[in-house]
Amino acid sequence: MGRARADTTQRSGTTPRIVIIGAGIAGILMGIKLRQRGWTDFTILEKADRLGGTWRENQYPGAACDVPAHLYVYSFAPNPAWRTRYAKAPEIWQYYHDQAERNGVLPHIEYGKEVATSEFDGTRWNVTTREGEHYEADVVIAGVGRLHQPNLPDITGAERFTGPKFHSSCWDHSVELKGKRLGVIGGGSSGVQIVSALADEVGKLSLFQRTPQWVFPLPDAPIPLKKRLLYRLWPGALARQYRKLEAEIDDRAGRAALDASVRAETAKLCNAGLAGVRDPELRAKLTPHYEVGCKRLVISGSFYDAIQKPSVDLVTEGIDHIEERGVVTTDGKLHEVDALVFATGFKAHAFLRPMQLKGEGGVTLDEVWNDLPINYRTVAIPHMPNFFMLNGPYSPGGSASVVGIIEVQTGYLLQLLDRIAEDQVLLTPREDATSDWLSGVRDLARQTVWATGGCNSWYLDKTGTPAYNPISITELKSSMATPIRDDFIATARETEPA
């Protein structure tokens, strides 16, 4: 993992003062790219006590990425040290921490600084944390991610449970689970990974499943030491592996949402995995009644083995309430547990919230986003001059690598930043350009399996339209290769005296 070289290109004008919100994959990448260009007047505000975003929050047993490890990296910093096909959360966190350290980003991060408000005063942004600290910025870039606000279900009596209870992203590692009775609510990726990791450790595990998931039965194979040494000694081989995985995932993920033939091939493999569940009644409970791809595919080569263990119980009756001793289902049965985990996902449509944003003329984000999270190419919002996002609403979805998506968006933003610095302007996307782009994305999204596949997923907004752009990384790169100048309103920016 080599250190990226600095770009020493000379630029005219005054480089803007930048505040980046969030020290996850997106915030770290933007920091790296700014330093490569010799821009050092930036601060990264991080609400937690360490960096890492998703991979700081999700450190539950079995937590791993569902994108192949050699692709889940910055393209300029391949990692020959991954030990398995799908990297585990601690390894991923360490990789991104190392990248921040090696590229000089760590000194720019201020921890324990959750942004409460960002207000545009006509010239620049005034950013205020919940602790009341103030920062001035010419440009604000939000790298807050989508999956960081836990979604806790409103279940009657949850407060009455006397044992330990926590969301999967807030795992309490002080709780001893060996030999205990564990209840896991939620059968998505997190629930599947937790069951697979703890089935042999706990005394009894009850998985409360509302909706079965399509599980792609791909084993998490170890990467042999010989191959890891090859990658370390011959970087060209590692670069080829990255390109190979990128092409494979891009082809599959880029076409699956719109191409039924791709989904049919995936369905065959998923059903082959299901066939390994010997009990027909259990197999029926695990079989989804919606199309493959309607929800994000779960990747696991061990879940079906784990769910068949004598110590594991799949509960498909609805939850009526929770009491002191455990969970009571709608059939009146009490499922006694010693600890309870909510693997119930995140508030995927919160986006920038709960931060309060106020743009030109005092218009608020809530006013602009009253009906939908309106934005231009996922990176800019009308009426919010020099305010940008990474991995914002209507970014590509499916099973693509979010790292690759963020890299494309970062390259696009860097071009906007160059224009801001060179022309000394404020850039705001035009409403008509925003409307045209967003209408096209939403029209295409309505044709995808996310909308027509017969399921209810976190992909959908309140209108039932997927809040994702069903295009491939290749198409994204092409569409965001160069900003369209006329799609932005450029207003002269007041600069401070030298």
Three-state SS string over 404-437 comes to HHHHHHHHHHHHHHHHHHHHCEEEEECHHHHHHH
Average pLDDT, the chain: 93
Higher pLDDT, 12 or 142: 142
- What percent of the chain clears pLDDT 90, i.e. is strictly above it? 86
Residue 175 and residue 167: Cα distance in Å, rounded? 13
pLDDT at 496: 60
pLDDT at 269: 95
Residues facing residue 477 across a β-bridge:
none
Interior CA angle at 114 toward 488 and 401, to 5°? Answer: 60
Residue 481 and residue 409: Cα distance in Å, rounded? 9
pLDDT at 5 over 60: no
Judge residue 401's burial from the number of C-beta atoms within 10 Å of its C-beta, 0-12 exposed, 13-18 middle, 19 or more buried.
buried
pTM for the full model? 0.93
Residue 439 and residue 365: Cα distance in Å, rounded? 20
pLDDT at 340 over 60: yes
pLDDT at 360: 96
Residues facing residue 389 across a β-bridge:
142
pLDDT at 63: 97
Where is average pLDDT lowest: 190-204, 224-238, 243-257? 243-257
pLDDT at 237: 95
The 3-class secondary structure across the chain, one letter per residue, is CCCCCCCCCCCCCCCCCEEEECCCHHHHHHHHHHHHCCCCCEEEEECCCCCCCHHHHCCCCCCECCCCCCCCCCCCCCCCCCCECCCEHHHHHHHHHHHHHHCCCHHHEEECCCEEEEEECCCCEEEEECCCCEEEECEEEECCCCCCCECCCCCCCHHHCCCCEEEHHHCCCCCCCCCCEEEEECCCHHHHHHHHHHCCCCCEEEEECCCCCCEECCCCCECCHHHHHHHHHCHHHHHHHHHHHHHHHHHHHHHHCCCHHHHHHHHHHHHHHHCCCCCHHHHHHCCCCCCCCCCCCEECCCHHHHHCCCCEEEECCCEEEEECCEEEECCCCEEECCEEEECCCECCCCCCCCCEEECHHHCEHHHHCCCCCCCECCCECCCCCCEEECCCCCCECCCCCHHHHHHHHHHHHHHHHHHHHHHCEEEEECHHHHHHHHHHHHHHHCCCHHHHCCCCCCCECCCCCECCECCCHHHHHHHCCCCCHHHEEEEECCCCCC
pLDDT at 333 over 60: yes
Question: How confident is the model over 307-323, as a mean pLDDT?
Answer: 98
pLDDT at 8 over 60: no
pLDDT at 348: 72
pLDDT at 462: 85
CATH topology of domain 18-149+347-492: FAD/NAD(P)-binding domain (3.50.50)
Where is average pLDDT lowest: 7-21, 63-77, 227-241? 7-21
pLDDT at 14: 82
Side-chain-side CA neighbours of 337 within 13 Å: the count stands at: 29
pLDDT at 493: 82
| Residue 1 binned pLDDT confidence (cut-offs 50, 70, 90) | very low
pLDDT at 458: 84
pLDDT at 7: 36
pLDDT at 159 over 60: yes
pLDDT at 252: 75
pLDDT at 232: 95
Question: How confident is the model over 160-187, as a mean pLDDT?
Answer: 97
| Residue 498 binned pLDDT confidence (cut-offs 50, 70, 90) | very low
Question: How confident is the model over 100-111, as a mean pLDDT?
Answer: 98
Question: How confident is the model over 166-190, as a mean pLDDT?
Answer: 97
Shared fold status for 18-149+347-492 and 158-214+258-342: yes
Q: What is the pLDDT of residues 66-78, one digit of tens each?
A: 999 999 999 999 9
pLDDT at 11 over 50: no
pLDDT at 282 over 80: yes
The domain ranges of the chain are 18-149+347-492, 158-214+258-342
| Residue 6 binned pLDDT confidence (cut-offs 50, 70, 90) | very low
pLDDT at 4: 31
Nearest to 350 by CA among 114, 53, 150: 150
pLDDT at 9 over 80: no
| Residue 13 binned pLDDT confidence (cut-offs 50, 70, 90) | low
Where is average pLDDT lowest: 187-196, 197-206, 347-356? 347-356
Q: What is the pLDDT of residues 111-125, one digit of tens each?
A: 999 999 999 999 999
Residue 264 and residue 90: Cα distance in Å, rounded? 34
CATH match of 158-214+258-342 with 3.50.50.60: yes
**Which residues lie below 8 Å from residue 261, measured CB to CB, with a gap of 6+?**
none
